[in-house]
Amino acid sequence: MRDILIATNWKVASYIDSGVDETGDYNGYTVDFKVNDQVTATNGSNTNNGSWLVNGSGNELTLNFTGVPFNEFNDDWDIVSVLPTRIELRDVSGGGGGTDILIFEKI
């Protein structure tokens, strides 16, 4: 998972927040996972920096961004599937019980 993330740049192909499609908030952004566990998302005029970590067993991805809109992703995500060109993540909310789905696709 780690090698796949850092091998290329990504886009947010889909973000469903408890049933609400918020993908449009991320149109035009390029997401770059760096070797040093830092991540940058930029659209040319707005940049969100953050950190990322794949847990030891490789089934969870922790994201921590500063700034809107990527701070929506600050959580521990369950890794649903990993392909060289697509990564699907899921988070079940502890409080409200809603399920979020986040899909990154290779640019």
Domain architecture of the chain: domains with CATH: 2-106 (2.40.128.270)
Residues 64-88 pLDDT 10s: 999 999 999 999 999 999 999 999 9
Contact 43, 29 (CB under 8 A): yes
pLDDT band at 93 (very low <50, low <70, confident <90, very high): confident
Please tell me the pTM assigned to this model: 0.95
- Kindly state the percentage of the chain with pLDDT values over 90: 88
Structure tokens at 73: 């992703």
Bond preceding residue 69 cis, omega within 30 of 0: yes
| Rounded Cα–Cα distance for residues 89 and 20 (Å) | 16
Task: Please choose, from the candidates 10, 24, 8, the residue with its C-alpha nearest in 3D space to the C-alpha of residue 72.
Answer: 24
In this prediction, residues 5-31 reach a mean pLDDT of 97
